């Protein structure tokens, strides 16, 4: 059994064809979802993201312009699971950090706080249930923050939507089933190009090799652009 299933018992997850009120097996909170394990356990979004605030220290002390390097550090932290809504914050946080380090004019702490709030509102399972991967949405939130977008904005509104649609289009092209690592890497790489084109800020864009494929029961292997089978030449430190 790989470790991408139920956080309580390790059993496989099941996705219902309808939403119902679930009770979190950790904190007792009740919320609407269509996901639980085959043994009936449900873990709420808040419990799934417990410990996420530890990324703030990583971001504030980071000097790299490489958002993939930054998010890989986050992915390796104890709070981060193979899949989960934590990625909906982590993508934008890694991009904000790399953007600031590449010369982007932002108050990093202030923008990270905003990212935590906005990204934290995107629930787990949005990829399949909404038709919009939370990692792709996170890249759009990132652009909304750096551009100062609001519902009443003109160009920033357009830029934020353009970023989200670009990430989601690429995620859709690669196809399912879901993988939060794959969606995160795709969204970050698309954002690096988008920010260079529209904001003139050069973040680093590395070749990405996934180190989590053997923890994903639904890994698409050769269909994933980041699987080692498609990246035979390893880079130092991968």
Instruction: Determine contact, residues 166/160, Cβ cutoff 8 Å.
Output: no
| Phi-psi region at 10: left, alpha or beta (left = phi > 0; alpha = psi -120 to 50) | left
What residue segments make up the domains of the chain, in order of their start? 13-46, 51-228
The per-type count for the chain, helices as H runs and strands as E runs, is: 9, 2
Q: Which two tokens stand for residue 116?
A: 């935590």
**Beta bridge mates, 2:** none
* Cis amide prior to 177 (ω within 30 degrees): yes
pTM summary value: 0.92
Q: Which two tokens stand for residue 24?
A: 């979190």
| Cα 216–Cα 221–Cα 224 angle in degrees, nearest 5 | 100
Instruction: Determine contact, residues 187/136, Cβ cutoff 8 Å.
Output: yes
pLDDT means over runs of 10, the chain (238 residues): 74 91 95 93 92 95 98 96 96 98 98 98 94 98 98 97 98 96 98 98 96 93 95 56
| Cα 48–Cα 169–Cα 126 angle in degrees, nearest 5 | 25
pLDDT of residue 237: 44
Instruction: Determine contact, residues 46/25, Cβ cutoff 8 Å.
Output: no
Q: Which two tokens stand for residue 108?
A: 């990093």
pLDDT of residue 3: 55
């Amino acid at each position: 059994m790989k470790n991408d299933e139920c956080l309580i018992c390790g059993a496989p997850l099941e996705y219902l064809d309808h939403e119902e009120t679930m009770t979190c097996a950790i904190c007792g909170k009740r919320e609407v979802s269509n996901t639980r394990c085959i043994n009936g356990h449900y873990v709420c979004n808040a419990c799934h993201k417990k410990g996420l605030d530890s990324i703030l220290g990583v971001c504030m002390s980071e000097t790299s312009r490489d958002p993939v390097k930054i998010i890989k550090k986050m992915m390796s932290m104890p709070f981060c699971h193979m899949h989960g809504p934590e990625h909906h914050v982590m993508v934008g946080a890694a991009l904000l950090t790399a953007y600031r380090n590449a010369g982007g004019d932002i108050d990093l702490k202030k923008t990270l706080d905003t990212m935590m709030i906005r990204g934290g509102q995107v629930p787990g399972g949005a990829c399949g249930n909404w038709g919009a991967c939370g990692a792709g949405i996170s890249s759009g939130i990132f652009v909304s923050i750096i551009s100062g977008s609001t519902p009443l904005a003109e160009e920033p509104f357009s830029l934020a939507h353009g970023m989200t649609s670009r990430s989601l289009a690429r995620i859709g092209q690669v196809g399912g089933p879901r993988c939060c690592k794959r969606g995160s890497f795709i969204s970050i790489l698309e954002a690096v190009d988008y920010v260079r084109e529209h904001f003139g800020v050069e973040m680093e864009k590395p070749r990405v090799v996934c180190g989590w494929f053997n923890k994903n029961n639904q890994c698409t292997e050769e269909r994933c652009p980041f699987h080692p089978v498609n990246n035979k030449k390893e880079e130092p430190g991968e």
